[in-house]
Structure formats: structure tokens, C-alpha cells
Structure 1
Amino acid sequence: MQSDAHDMTRTPPIFRALPGLLLSMAVAGSAMLLEQAERSLVGTAWIESLVLAILAGTILRTLWQPPATFESGIHFSAHTLLEAAVALMGAAVSFEMVMKAGPMLVLGIVGTVGIAIGAGVLLGRAFGLPAKMAVLIACGNAICGNSAIAAVAVAIDADNDEAATAVAFTAVLGIVVILCLPLAAHTLHLTQTEGGVLAGLTVYAVPQVLAAAGPMGATAIQIGTLVKLIRVLMLGPVVAVCSLIYARQTPFRNDTKPGFSLNRFLPPFIVVFMGLMAARSLGLVPHELLAPLHTMSSLFTLVAMAALGLGVDLRNVLAAGPRVVTVVTLSLAVLGMVALLVARAC
């Protein structure tokens, strides 16, 4: 046994990570196939591959305990690949979007995200959720669902159970929002512009904005997409702030000597995110690279979601169910009310 353990420590990290990485990739691949099956059967994917990946990984982990040889690769996929995916997202946004929107709408978006995060954290703590879980749910609702939860989870060092639970419940409500938003816009007699702003401020993913705003008209789609992209732009600053707060608290929890470290206050993947965003804004990122970078980020995220699921026992997730459902629902209600006010004002 000692010889086996010694041999494992001498194995290069890439080879130690290979079993878990391949397992995560296999689960991610199965999620992609399931999404394609949805599209073939019903014409659209009501549950995206990101959610399917984490659900498939969670079910597999609940039914089967992976051997220790898989742990390194699963951890690598859930953390390092996820950080790389978030960093690459910076190439998809630019400050030009802010200029097109106008100052009042931008302020409305920033205010909505800030209020939604604050309300979500307060609601989570009021219902007795752990602090990190409350932050994950709040940021997921306020910004962009899965991607925000995944990015913030890295920044605050959240457990896999917490990240997976937040993703699962926000994903379910995300589908509800897509179905209900067009009806709500019609009932409230919103214009296409107002409906687009409401969709951009409440729906989690850009493709979902297209689905939710589509019934309202072309203008609603254009406005909704613009608002959603600016809302995604908030991910970098929010993750940086979460990293700062967590870094200031960590030394006291671990009884280590506090000191300044740039990596602790601003993780490298956020520096790359902001750098790519600035490069995109200055026209330094070739247009031909945008699609490959987006594809790479999406694939990394998909594998990371599968790895997150592989680190979660479903029985532990279900134990926190009722409180999480309540907090996510109330947080989304607060976001919807604030978003409606902004939409009416714009």
C-alpha cells in the first residue's frame, strides 16, 4: 500500500488527472447528446446541456462512488477548467455595448443587479442558508444563472454541494421564467422595448432571452439581448468583489498572518477576463477568434459542470431543498419587480 501511494505521488499531475478528466468529459458528452435528443423530439432544448451535465454527474455520483484515482481529475475539471472558461468569457463582451445602451439604462442594469444580489443574500441568511449558498443563489439570479454561480463558487471557494444545489434550482426557475415572461408582458401591456428590458434583466442565459423575448417581437429580442449582455458584463466586477471579501475573511478563519497578495484579492482568471474584455473593446481581438474562444469557453464550462455534479451526493442536496426553493423563488420575485420598474422607467 505504501508503495502504491508513493508511486501515485511520483506520477505527473496530468496523468493523475486523466481518469477524472475523461470521466467528466464522458458525462459532458452524454449531456450534449441528451440536449440534441430534446431538440429532435420537441424542437427545442428546455433543459440546456449545462444543467443536464450537472444533473447527470450528480445522479452518477449518487449511485456510484468514484475510486480515489478519479478525484484529482474531477477536482481539476471543476476548478481549473472552470476558471479558464470564465477567463475566456471576457472576449465575448466589450464596453461598446455600454455606449449603445445609454447611461440611464446602464445605471438601471447596475442597480438591478446590486439590489438583486443584496436581497438574495439577505433572504438566504434569513431562511438559514449557509452564507456561501446564499451568495451563490443571489449572484446566479442577479447575473446569468449557471455561469455566475460557477464563477462566484470559484471566487469564494464554495463546496460542490452548494454550487450544484444553486445551479439545479435556479435552472428550474429559469425555465419557468421563459414560459411565463411573454404572458406577463402581454398582461401588463408592455411595449416591445419594455418587454425586451424585462427579459434581459430577468432571464439567465442569452439564448433563453431569445426564447422569452421572441413572442414580443424583433425589437424586444434586440433590446433584450443588449440588456442581457451588459448584465453579463457585471460578472467580472461581482466576482472580483466576492474574491476581495473572501480574501479578507480567510486569514482570520485559518489563523494565518494576513498580508497583501494580488492573487488573493484578484484571482488570475478574473485578470484575464478583464484583460480580454479590454482587448475586445480596443479591437485587439481578431474577429476570427471570437467564435473559437466562445466555443472553448462553453466546452470548458460544460465539462466543469459535469465535474461539479460528480462531486455531489444527491441525498445531501435534497436535504436542503425546501429552504433553497423558497429563497430562489423569493429572490427571483424581487429581481422581477425591480426589473419591471426599470423597464417602465426606460
Structure 2
Amino acid sequence: MPPSSPASAKRSASRLAAPVRGSGAVGRALPGLAWCAAAVGLTLVLHHLVPTVSPLLVAVLLGVLLTNTVGLPAVAQPGLAFASKRLLRLGVALLGLQLVLSDIVSLGVGLCLTVVAVVALGIVGTCAAGRALGVPAGQRLLIACGFSICGAAAVAAADGVVDSDEEDVASAIALVVVFGTAMIAAVPLAATVLGLSTEQAGLWAGGSIHEVAQVVAVGGALGGSALAAAVVVKLARVLMLAPVLVVLGWRQRRTTRARGATSHPPLVPLFVLGFLGMVALRTTGVLGQPVIDAAQTAQTVLLSAAMFALGCSVRRSALRKVGPRPLALALVSTLIVALTALTGVLVST
């Protein structure tokens, strides 16, 4: 069966925008979900062999590679659309089970304010720089969220609220891969040059590096108390995903009203409420470690499937149009986040 065209992919995606009802819709989704399952299995095996490699990033790159080489049959499109929307939102909600509010509060006022500053200045500064560089509004917003909060998951979650172009999503995630990987080497080297203690270096890594897996890699390499410090600060940044998505939802609602639309997106998306509910549930301490571990595996599987589906929607011709401006913006965003985090760590400790 021939690969699907972009037009057919969009028609399939629009059909999946409505809630899935009936066995017929479920049957149409199964082929695409089977492709997602195979891709997730491959990414988890690679992650097991190389723990520093994020399954989410591997999944989206695999999707881009597959769709631009052998292609996927048109019958897979409904399932891919389902994964890129519904499974993504469920995975983001489960992400809340990795957060314990008491751990974040234990950072102290100074570091908590640092986390807020990293996210706020990172997003505002990146969007302002993107406007000056002529980067399209949707693309600069996705880059800002990915670099300031939690990498690929933040890019995809923001897309779930503002509904950006698939090419902008893929380019933002690709930039997270490139610059986040560079930070794995750059942060320890810079920490040594600056004379930071092991704990300070860990705090800086958690406050400045994009992906959770990348933060773990740096924290483990630094040794001592760096890993625990890095992970807690990074999870505090993940928690900021909820208020950022609420603000984006509010802005999107205002935009649809200004255009005279008869229907409007919810002020607080349901999956954001799910995320906050999972944070509250984890904080109560009623969940045992086996349940938390199982939820983390499920979250990784769901988000990896969603990333693969997003990657499958991106054509090589669109990626060639990215150009140097988003690259320059990614560099600026990395510097804003890193310098804000470093300043906060030095002042707080």
C-alpha cells in the first residue's frame, strides 16, 4: 500500500480530533498503534543499552526517519493521530506521579524562586529573541517551552494546547536533542572552570539542561550529591509545566474569541488537571514504590508512542526549511536558561 500524502494525513488527523466512539474507530486506530508499539519497543531496548539516551527523543527521530525513507501506509494514520493527541495527554498527566511537593519545597525559597525565574525568563526571553530573529510565533513558543521546562515533553504538551504545525514541533524537538546533548559536556566543564562545588554543579545542571535523562547523565557523571540535587531541581522545573499550560490555554481561548469562533478551548485543559491530580496523589505518600515504578514505565511508553507519531507527521522537505534562525534562537534560549540558573544557584548557595 502506498505511503500516505500530507493531505490524507491531515484528513485522518481531523477525524481523530473528535472522541473515539464505537468499535469501528478503534479498529481504524489499531494499525497505527501497532506501529507505535513496535517503535516504543525499539526505543526502550536502546534506552536499556544506553541509559543516557532519552526514549522520547529516539522515538521522534525514528518517526521522522521512517516516514521519510520507507514511508507508512495510509491505514496507519488514524492510530498515529490518536497517539499524538490522546496518548500524549495521558502520558503528561502520569508525569505528575514523579513529583513530590515536599522534595521541591525542601530546596528552599532561593532555589524555588530560581526555578520560577528560569522558566519565566526563559520563555519570555526566548519569545522576545525569536521575534527579533524573525522566527514564526508558534515555533518560537515551542522552543521556549522545550528549553525552559522539560524538553520534548514540554514541546509536545504545549502543542497539545496551542495546536502548532507538525514541522514546528519536530524542529523544536530536534533542537532539544542537539543543544541538550551539547550541555551534557558543557555544564561539567564550565562548572570546573567556575570552581563550583559538586552540589552547586548538580543544582546548575538541573536548572539549565533540557531533558530529564540528560540531567541524570550529568548528575551521575559529577558524582557525590550532584545527582540528587540535579534531579530535584529538574523536577521542580517539570512542575512549572502546569501553570505555563494554563497560561497558554488562556491565551488560546482569547485568540479564538477574538476570531469570532463559536467554540473555545477549555481554560484549563483536562490533562493539566490530571497532571496536578497525580502530583497531589504522589505527595500524599499512599502509593507504593512498585506502583510509582509502573506508572513511570507507562508514562515513558505513552510519551514515546506520542513522539513517534509526531515524528511520522514530519516531511524532509519541511525540515529543510528550518534554516539558521531557529538554530540561533536555540542558542540564545540555552544561554538565557543557563545564565539565569547559574545566577540563582550562586546567590542561593
- Structures share fold, TM-score greater than 0.5: yes
> Does the alignment pair 1:152 with 2:158?
yes
Specify the alignment match of 2:9 in structure 1.
Answer: none
- Name stretches of at least 5 consecutive residues in structure 2 with no aligned partner: 1-20
Kept after mapping to 1: 8 A contact 2:52/2:216: no
> Does the alignment pair 1:14 with 2:33?
no
> Does the alignment pair 1:317 with 2:319?
yes
Specify the alignment match of 2:206 in structure 1.
Answer: 200
Alignment deviations for residues 7-62 of structure 1 (CA, whole Å, 9 cap, x no partner):
xx9961110111111122223333334445xx3xxxx4554332221111112212
Instruction: Give the whole-Å Cα distance in 1 for the aligned partners of 2:274 and 2:157.
Output: 13
Shift of 1:333: 0.9
Specify the alignment match of 1:5 in structure 2.
Answer: none
Deviates more, 1:23-32 or 1:74-83: 23-32
The residue correspondences of 1:1-346 to structure 2 (distance < 5 A) are 12-36=24-48, 39=49, 44=50, 47-253=53-259, 255-257=260-262, 264-346=266-348
Instruction: Give the whole-Å Cα distance in 2 for the aligned partners of 1:289 and 1:194.
Output: 32
Kept after mapping to 1: 8 A contact 2:123/2:148: yes
Instruction: Give the whole-Å Cα distance in 2 for the aligned partners of 1:251 and 1:24.
Output: 36
- Name stretches of at least 5 consecutive residues in structure 1 with no aligned partner: 1-8
Q: Using the aligned pairs only, state the percent identity.
A: 32
**Aligned in 2, Cα 1:288/1:315: closer, same or farther, shift over 3 Å?**
same
Instruction: Give the whole-Å Cα distance in 1 for the aligned partners of 2:229 and 2:22.
Output: 55
**Aligned in 2, Cα 1:207/1:57: closer, same or farther, shift over 3 Å?**
closer
Shift of 1:169: 1.2
**Aligned in 2, Cα 1:189/1:24: closer, same or farther, shift over 3 Å?**
same
Return the letter of the residue paired with 2:339. Answer: M
User: Over aligned residues, Cα RMSD in angstroms?
Assistant: 2.0
Alignment deviations for residues 231-270 of structure 1 (CA, whole Å, 9 cap, x no partner):
11111111121112112212333x3247xx7x61111111
**Aligned in 2, Cα 1:284/1:243: closer, same or farther, shift over 3 Å?**
farther
Partner-residue secondary structure (3-state), 2:195: coil
Shift of 1:228: 1.1
Shift of 1:332: 0.3
Instruction: Give the whole-Å Cα distance in 1 for the aligned partners of 2:107 and 2:218.
Output: 20
Alignment deviations for residues 263-289 of structure 1 (CA, whole Å, 9 cap, x no partner):
611111111111111122223434431
Kept after mapping to 1: 8 A contact 2:53/2:213: no
Shift of 1:200: 0.7
Instruction: Give the whole-Å Cα distance in 1 for the aligned partners of 2:246 and 2:319.
Output: 27
Aligned length: 328
Kept after mapping to 2: 8 A contact 1:47/1:175: no
**Aligned in 2, Cα 1:93/1:11: closer, same or farther, shift over 3 Å?**
closer
Kept after mapping to 2: 8 A contact 1:62/1:315: no
Instruction: Give the whole-Å Cα distance in 2 for the aligned partners of 1:11 and 1:193.
Output: 54
**Aligned in 2, Cα 1:183/1:148: closer, same or farther, shift over 3 Å?**
same
